[in-house]
Structure 1
Amino acid sequence: MPRETAKAALAGALTTAMLAVAAQGVTAAPPDRGKSVPVRLLALNDFHGNLEPPAGSSGRMVDENGATVEAGGAAYIAAWMKRMTDRNTLKVAQGDLIGATPLISAAYHDEPSVEFLGDLGITASAVGNHEFDEGYGELKRIMKGGSHPVDGASPAGPWKGAEFTYLGANVLLEDAGKLPDLPGNEILRRIPRKRLDAMLRSHGVPAVPPVAVRKVNGQKIGFIGAVTESTPAIVTAAGIEGLRFERVVKSARFGSRLLKMLGVEAQVLLVHEGDNVTAGRSPDACSTAGDPGGGAGAGTEIATKVDAEIDLVLSGHSHQAYVCEVEDPEDGTRVYSQGGSFGRVISKVDLRIDERSKDVVRSSVKVDNRIVTRDIEPDAETARFVRTWKDRVAEVADRKVGEITADLTRTASRSGESALGDLIADAQLAATREGGGAQIALMNPGGVRADLPYAPDGVVTYGEAFAVQPFGNLMQVVTLTGARLDALLEQQWTAARTAVLQPSASLSYTATLGNPFGDRVSGIEIDGEPVTGTGTYRVAATSFLVGGGDGFSVFTQGTAPWSGPMDLDAFTAHLGSASPVSPPATGRIKLG
């Protein structure tokens, strides 16, 4: 609770009294401030099943000194966690631990990732939007255990269930009934039945446990979980059937009241919602950027508005790293942070809990976003675990996903297009039209990592498709004005480099390469209709590009973001539905 101002006033009064006593030549006894005990939290967010070190830009991070370093991988996460763990440590997470995952995890419905996180010692995690990718029923199976209803048991045998508790105070059942029989809900039985029933009638019945309580160093600390309110717009309807999503601020208040009823004063919000940042800053900087309309980012708004009873806000969803201090509704201060994505950062939180008040000493809260560098010895046991699953997934890698009629290569035409790049853009548009409303798609050429040869028989395996798109980026859609789309396309040519975005067939324009930089694009059309400067258009791209990757900073000015499937899933789905696939003709970009 925000009592720092009162504490400061009391400290000032005591100091004055001590000075007065000292002036009379009497030695003052130090005031009894009460004792506090240390607690450490180690937090991960948006792991997305990256058991192997993520490749490309997904496996790099800017460190505190501004250097870009290789980061991530389960064996390195485990090694760093061991270095940072002491007797006062709890490990938590902020959602999207599964869903949109690489083949090694996705092939077995993310059981390998959940097992790893349990072995790591994660004790509680907010649900993320991607936890609902395969539906609420599948999420419950992951939590409780049991073999997959279609694919059966994995090579490791029947699934035993997660060793940590998923939390979601704002994920509610549409048809209010009794609390689901899920691990973690048993703690609510400690609340008097009439009081709990009244709260559930008022708030709604959570579909997953809303809170968790853990004890460390003799003190209770409570965790409230919540997921982004945009979940209904970024998850398929089937994935959230029977659920509704309440406002995070309201649900955090509900969770805080539950914790108070359970006698817990030290409270942490694990929320799968966050902000974008200014590129290239230290992971420990408060570099959060407001939304394009000038308001606070979604994560900052939550961090400032949730109940003052909540002492710390750990966030996720936006895949960024930052450490901020914000004001709560009672003018107290609290820390609000996030730790990147894909297992590249561990947020180390050190705080103290007052033994008398049982509350967090706000001034003691310190967060260090520690990059999971690969310059230390990886954890041997975890490395063996990852190797086992990599060997098991080899059978999946040989699965046929489609057929092609000729070689699909990255060889660029004079305009900068390639047949393979254009095909990938077409696949990405097909995957984002329905849910994200995409009208065009743009693919960065550096993300196309291998050719797709016809030999020997035109069959494309999952492993071959994975070699083409190995980075595990999410597909996203944002709205750009016509003027911003023009500015984005102009960023393809600079004095430093040329990086031609591969366009879907729905987009055409003229590039006059003899013109000065910034004045090369003209005649932009979408589906044959001219683009206007004030018109708005839905543009699909990978999360790498939408985050401003490869210097395409205009993407970060996009609004109304939507997240969809992994880029590889979009590619393989298109190869299957359009088979046999022929190389598309280039020429979507005309040269002036």
Structure 2
Amino acid sequence: MRKTPLLLLTVALGLSACTTPPSTLTPDPVNVTVLGLNDFHGNLEPTGFTPVGAEKPISAGGTEAIGAELAAARKANANTVFVGGGDLIGASPITSGLLRDEPAVYALNALGMSVSALGNHEFDQGLTELLRMQNGGCDSNDKAKACKFDPNYRGATFKWIGANVQYNASSGKTGSPFAPYVVQNVGGAKIAFVGAVTKTTPTIVSPDGVSMLTFTDEADAVNAVVPELKRQNVDAIIMLIHEGGEIVKTDANGKPINADVTYATVGCKVLKTDSPIYTIAKRVDPAVTAIISGHTHQGYNCLVPDPTGKDRIVIQGEQYGHLLQRLDLTVDKANHKVITVKAENLVVNYTEREKAGQLDFAQTQIVTTAKSKVAAISSVEIARLGSPQIQRGIANARNTESPLGDVIADALLEAGKDRGAVIGIMNPGGIRADLPDSTKIKANNAVNFGDVFAVNPFGNTTTILTLTGAQIDEMLEQQFSGGNAEAVKLLQVSEGFTYSYSQSAAAGSKIDIASIKLNGTAISPTGTYRIATNNFLAAGGDNFAAFKSATNVVQLPGVADTDVLSNYLKLKGPSLTNTVKGRIVVLP
């Protein structure tokens, strides 16, 4: 039995999805359930999640439990459709990631996913590889991983969609490699799902892999296809978008507010108004009934005014399958409109489903097969820590210094010392899991290679480069400005490197260069400093363009991020604890 309370948000709608005035036909209602999964990232197995009101994390997510939730929903309402909010693959744990995420695709196929928005991580390995993931085959850019789960990889049975993804002029092609929308017949109702991915995708994936594509404004692209959908007399339009926001948690002075607003809060109206999803939702055509979002790994069930000022549901289900977004619609097929829509975030409690004997057997087979194929590598013990776990931050926040961030920055520094590195720098978005996850903590504080892979799944390589003190200052300011202004990305820094920043200062002026010190001495604006980082940051990823001005850039051949962390854990493991070192000082 599911103990999580059913929390629903209901919005009455008088919007017709057709181009003609509302008819006077006798209503022909049908109840439709939409279950959405965002930011799954190939997490076939459950991971730790702390529900509202719980003191300790539970095991949540995992495709076996997701399958159980889908089965229950389909039993209650045969008119149930399963959709995605993007980032279904990429940055995945070893059970899927070491097999090129083919197990994740097969799992989603078996779960009956119908359609998903593209996410930025779908493009991690480039467009050509993404099209292989969609269509099948073994002609991969990583043949060591591809078709090792199934020697005849068949591709996804669901469709990735993106209305705002187009070929650019340099590609020599026109149109888009992806459909903008899919129309599903659900219980006789025509439900249109229109997709979009964050337009910032080229700045957060390897640019070479998407050089032939243009990512246009999300709202404009969706609005452009709405008239076409209206001409088809669809009965409802749901937007699937891989872009998100955050709930306002503090005021301008850092004072806590809205601390009680969570994924379970019904109808929240405290999404940050300058967040991408808020500004997009305010501009999307009113004919769109509800918006399933993703990207920011947040749980929220909120209302945002549409262009007419009417409230519209915007929902996101955190990450890794811990939550499913649920929409319950009453659709009038005769008059092509939605009468009501309800929303909730549903906790996927693996432990409860397992105890009740309800885990999805077909998923168990997929997970077991995938685990067996990587077991020899995944189970290798790397080190034993000085504490049971080293965490990547409270609620996986990317705007704070974290214990694990400190460790990884130190590991980068250690890896680059023989090339003259004096500073190690890590991007917080590259840290994907606690070490280890709460579901995998061992009595002897051991971590294995699978735990390390979950933390650093990208396969990034190590780069050593030189920046001046002034460029370092510029790089640190970019944590709060430009593409990072709406969602701060606080770089994690190594031992001996310290600085302070002001929360209230204007963007571009948050850091006094005099506060930036190396081993207690202020850096010189004209001095040069060797930095160890990953190739993603070195290329200016995550909007850190200052790295692109670096000189004397050296790639360490064959040194992947998992090697860097593994080697450091072997060297320092027993001395490493879940402690923030306080290298970054936050001022009012």
TM-score by length of 2: 0.65
**Aligned residue type for 2:36:** A
**Aligned residue type for 1:346:** L
What is the aligned counterpart of 2:206 among 233, 236, 239? 236
For residues 245 and 355 of structure 1, what CA distance do their matches in structure 2 show?
A: 34
1:367 aligns with 2:346: no
Q: Deviations over 1:59-103 (max 9, x none)?
A: 213237898543111111111111112211111010000000001
- Equivalent residue of 2:194, what SS? strand
| CA shift for structure 1 position 391 | 0.4
1:117 aligns with 2:102: no
Q: What is the correspondence of 1:95-134 to structure 2 with a 5 Å cutoff?
A: 95-134=86-125
1:253 aligns with 2:223: yes
| CA shift for structure 1 position 214 | 0.6
Of the structure 1 ranges 67-76 and 235-244, higher mean CA displacement relative to structure 2 is found in 67-76
What is the aligned counterpart of 1:43 among 33, 36, 44? 36
For residues 153 and 527 of structure 1, what CA distance do their matches in structure 2 show?
A: 49
For residues 142 and 483 of structure 1, what CA distance do their matches in structure 2 show?
A: 33
| 8 Å CA contact retained: 1:169, 1:224 | yes
What is the aligned counterpart of 2:361 among 380, 383, 407? 380
For residues 579 and 108 of structure 1, what CA distance do their matches in structure 2 show?
A: 25
Corresponding residue number in structure 2 for 1:161: 155
For residues 75 and 6 of structure 1, what CA distance do their matches in structure 2 show?
A: 38
For residues 238 and 4 of structure 1, what CA distance do their matches in structure 2 show?
A: 44
Change (3 A) 1:64 1:467: closer
- Equivalent residue of 1:318, what SS? coil
| 8 Å CA contact retained: 1:62, 1:283 | no
What is the aligned counterpart of 2:564 among 563, 567, 574? 574
| CA shift for structure 1 position 167 | 0.3
For residues 226 and 129 of structure 2, what CA distance do their matches in structure 1 show?
A: 28
For residues 266 and 479 of structure 1, what CA distance do their matches in structure 2 show?
A: 45
- Equivalent residue of 1:376, what SS? helix
Corresponding residue number in structure 2 for 1:222: 192
For residues 218 and 521 of structure 2, what CA distance do their matches in structure 1 show?
A: 41
Corresponding residue number in structure 2 for 1:174: 168
What is the aligned counterpart of 1:75 among 64, 74, 81? 64
| CA shift for structure 1 position 262 | 3.4
**Aligned residue type for 1:391:** S
For residues 97 and 440 of structure 1, what CA distance do their matches in structure 2 show?
A: 28
| CA shift for structure 1 position 531 | 8.1
Change (3 A) 1:142 1:330: same
Q: What is the correspondence of 1:155-554 to structure 2 with a 5 Å cutoff?
A: 155-175=149-169, 205-277=175-247, 278=249, 281-285=261-265, 286-287=267-268, 295-361=273-339, 364-374=340-350, 375-377=352-354, 378-397=359-378, 410=386, 424-427=408-411, 440-441=425-426, 447-449=434-436, 464-468=448-452, 470=454, 503-505=493-495, 507-508=497-498, 525-526=517-518, 530=522
Q: Deviations over 1:117-176 (max 9, x none)?
A: 011011000000000001100000011110143235224221111010100111110138
| CA shift for structure 1 position 6 | 8.9
Change (3 A) 1:158 1:299: same
Corresponding residue number in structure 2 for 1:490: none
Which structure would you say has the larger Rg? 1
For residues 75 and 4 of structure 1, what CA distance do their matches in structure 2 show?
A: 35
| 8 Å CA contact retained: 1:479, 1:560 | no
Of the structure 1 ranges 59-68 and 272-281, higher mean CA displacement relative to structure 2 is found in 59-68
Q: Deviations over 1:319-375 (max 9, x none)?
A: 1111112221123332111111101011121001112221222xx110111100121
Q: What is the correspondence of 1:19-34 to structure 2 with a 5 Å cutoff?
A: 34=27
- Equivalent residue of 2:338, what SS? coil
For residues 139 and 73 of structure 2, what CA distance do their matches in structure 1 show?
A: 35
- Equivalent residue of 1:336, what SS? strand
- Equivalent residue of 1:282, what SS? coil
- Equivalent residue of 2:282, what SS? helix
Corresponding residue number in structure 1 for 2:391: none
**Aligned residue type for 1:210:** P
Structure 2 unmatched ranges of 5 or more? 1-10, 17-23, 250-258, 389-402, 416-422, 438-446, 461-473, 481-490, 501-513, 525-530, 534-541, 546-558, 584-588
Change (3 A) 1:421 1:148: same
| 8 Å CA contact retained: 1:37, 1:354 | yes
Q: How large is the RMSD of aligned CA atoms in angstroms?
A: 4.7
For residues 218 and 249 of structure 1, what CA distance do their matches in structure 2 show?
A: 28
| 8 Å CA contact retained: 1:92, 1:125 | yes
For residues 217 and 304 of structure 1, what CA distance do their matches in structure 2 show?
A: 30
| CA shift for structure 1 position 386 | 0.6
- Equivalent residue of 2:50, what SS? strand
| 8 Å CA contact retained: 1:51, 1:105 | yes
| 8 Å CA contact retained: 2:233, 2:336 | no
For residues 81 and 214 of structure 2, what CA distance do their matches in structure 1 show?
A: 30
- Equivalent residue of 2:363, what SS? helix
| 8 Å CA contact retained: 1:215, 1:221 | yes
Q: Deviations over 1:396-441 (max 9, x none)?
A: 43799xxx9xx886489xxxxxx9986622446899xxxxxx9744
**Aligned residue type for 1:384:** Q
| CA shift for structure 1 position 574 | 2.9
Change (3 A) 1:69 1:581: closer
- Equivalent residue of 1:424, what SS? helix
For residues 207 and 5 of structure 1, what CA distance do their matches in structure 2 show?
A: 35
For residues 217 and 342 of structure 1, what CA distance do their matches in structure 2 show?
A: 29
Change (3 A) 1:206 1:352: same
| CA shift for structure 1 position 449 | 4.7
- Equivalent residue of 1:365, what SS? strand
**Aligned residue type for 1:324:** C
For residues 521 and 95 of structure 2, what CA distance do their matches in structure 1 show?
A: 43
TM-score by length of 1: 0.64
For residues 296 and 304 of structure 1, what CA distance do their matches in structure 2 show?
A: 11
Change (3 A) 1:475 1:69: farther
Change (3 A) 1:348 1:420: closer
Q: Deviations over 1:193-218 (max 9, x none)?
A: xxxxxxxxxxx722311110110111
Corresponding residue number in structure 2 for 1:88: 79
Of the structure 1 ranges 59-68 and 146-155, higher mean CA displacement relative to structure 2 is found in 59-68
